[in-house]
Amino acid sequence: MRILVTGAAGFIGYHLSQSLLADGHTVYGLDALTSYYDPALKRTRLDLLQRQNGFDFGQIDLTDAAALGVFVAEAEAEVVFHLAAQPGVRYSIENPQSYIQSNVVGTANLLEALRQHLPKHLIFASTSSVYGGNTTMPYAETDRADSPLSLYAATKKSGEALVHSYSHLWSIPSTCVRFFTVYGPYGRPDMAILKFAHALAAGEPIDVYGHGRMQRDFTYVSDLVAAMVAIMEKAPVMGRPVAGDSLSAVAPFRLLNLGGGRPVALMEFIASIERAMGANARLNVLPMQPGDVVATQADTALLKALIGELPTTPLDVGIGRFVAWFREYYGT
């Protein structure tokens, strides 16, 4: 198939694009290569993709509606994965405009371009952060998600609402996938796992927020990608729900958790990194940061109903693969 991947030079976009290319699809990758974090890592990912047959790239910012429209028209994609976004909970407090422009305006621009070239399935990357102040675990897609705790979460919830409206108005089959703490090789430098690895390698203390009591539903990147590829063939159809579905009553639109459903204590996660790196961490224990939540856990019943069991990489195996990449890439 012809597949458009926005954010193709990003962490998840890179892994997804590699998987799609390996399956023989033609991938039209789009990325702005912004400087939110070291663009060298993005260019490394991009270079690896451009060595593959069937990859076409456009360096385009989602806020450039004209250039975006031209690229979408040329791609004529049957499936669209919209992963491009300004990520990060804490940075959204410091620089809110970049989130509004990229995650809200950029998503609206993409949807308007897709209205002219309707895909068979649009898959929008959302986040578990939209569950915000919910205290009931695990998070189910049918739970209310009206209390975001960060601007990042609010912009992603806005993106879901925009996708629903276009799905209703233009009959675009759309799935909003809510990611749960994805980790693995080529991860973003602003994510905890890479910060921990750098600190351990340098013998520096690790900042541990929430007094070390936080839990996250960590999801290894290849497991997530396998699920996303399987979801391609599961475009929502109005009036045809499965058990426990979040299918909209007025649009071919579905919300879907992508996580393992097995939360891991932050201290256990750190201990796994220590084992893989053969080093003991010095901990700088700190209070919760604004916008953070204590725990996350995905209800995976709907995911299993759609595609079967999610591939599950054991934590120590996933951390081991990450550390092997970290040592090779950074030479530590």
Domain CATH number, residue 79 = 3.40.50.720
174, 283: one domain: no
Q: Domain range holding 101? A: 2-183+217-258
Q: Give the pLDDT mean for 31-56.
A: 93
**Two structure tokens written together for 196:** 């921990």
Is 183 among the residues known to form the active site? Answer: no
Q: For 260-290, how does the pLDDT look when each residue is reduced to its tens digit (9 = 90+)?
A: 888 999 999 999 999 999 999 899 888 888 8
**Strands 264-265 and 215-216, bridge-based pairing:** antiparallel
303 falls within a domain:
no
- Which position has the higher pLDDT, 137 or 5? 5
Q: Report yes or no on 302 lying in a domain.
A: no
CATH of the domain at 325: 3.90.25.10
Averaged pLDDT, 244-254: 97
- Is the pLDDT assigned to residue 220 strictly greater than 80? yes
Report the alpha-carbon distance of residue 72 to residue 85 in Å, rounded. 17
Judgement on whether residues 16 and 55 belong to the same structural domain of the protein: yes
Q: Which range has the top average pLDDT, 91-100, 173-182, 210-219?
A: 173-182
pLDDT tens by residue, 143-153: 999 888 989 99
* pLDDT reported for residue 258: 96
Model confidence at 113, pLDDT cuts 50, 70, 90, reads very high
More confident residue, 164 or 294: 164
**Mean pLDDT computed over 128-150:** 91
Q: Are residues 109 and 202 in the same domain?
A: no
Judge whether residue 87 has pLDDT over 90: no
pLDDT (tens digit per residue) in 99-109: 999 999 999 99
Half-sphere exposure in the Cβ direction for 321 (13 Å, CA): 13
| pLDDT above 90 for 90 | no
Contact predicate 106/158, CB 8 Å: no
Question: pLDDT-based confidence at 38, cuts 50/70/90?
Answer: confident
Contact 9, 33 (CB under 8 A): yes
Cα 186 to Cα 151: distance, rounded to the nearest angstrom:
25
CB 214 within 8 A of CB 267: no
The catalytic position among 152, 166, 183, 220 is 152
pLDDT in tens, 51-69: 999 999 999 999 999 999 9
| Rounded-to-10 torsion of CA 74, 233, 87, 185 | -100
Whether pLDDT at 310 is above 80: no
- Phi-psi map region of 174: left, alpha, beta (phi>0 left; psi -120 to 50 alpha): beta
CB 81 within 8 A of CB 70: no
What pTM, to 2 d.p., does this model score?
0.95
206 shares a domain with 136: no
Do 119 and 90 reside in the same domain of the chain?
yes
Residues 123 and 212 placed together within one structural domain of the fold: no
Percent of the chain residues topping a pLDDT of 90 = 79
pLDDT value, residue 291: 73
